[in-house]
Amino acid sequence: MERPLWAPWRIKYILGEKEKTCLFCRVVEEDRDVENLVLHRGRLSFVIMNLYPYNPGHLMVAPYEHVSELEDLAPDVLLEIMLLSQDCCRILKKTMSPQGLNAGFNLGEIAGSSIKEHIHLHVVPRWQGDNNFMPVLAGTRVVPQALDETYAMLAQEFGKM
């Protein structure tokens, strides 16, 4: 039997105008870090929360430079992305106590990248049972914490860097 799930916050995304420019480039140019869920700006890259997360605390680390290929990133940019990824792991472990973490790049659309034109690294906290029956039966994930609550908690820790 098919059972609908009520997720009224998704209608804004479904009916909303789709972004015509690169999300990451737009965010970098704007001075609206809280609204854009930017947690930290480094010298060459930044940390941003995923607006449509797989799990609470799903973070992305992206370079300021609009580059799509890993091999096109300069060594200093690669280093900062990896160092910020380490910071993400430390902060997520401290604030959210995940039982594990997934971290990595989705390189190209066929590899799962929804923003293939601007490379970014995902850091996703994981807990036992977070991938339960909902994705299998309903094709839906349940994220049990509001984005603004997660942002406030993580921003406090990133602010200490």
Residues annotated catalytic, as ranges: 120
Tokens encoding 31? 């001075």
Contacts of residue 70, Cβ cutoff 8 Å, sequence gap at least 6: 105, 107, 119
User: How distant, in Å, are the alpha carbons of 4, 41, 54, 94, 106 from that of 46?
Assistant: 37, 4, 20, 20, 17
Residues 6+ apart with CB under 8 A from 73: 63, 65, 67, 81, 119
Tokens 């060459």 found at: 44
Around Cβ 116, how many Cβ atoms within 10 Å?
14
Amino acid at 122: H
Q: Which two tokens stand for residue 73?
A: 């990133």
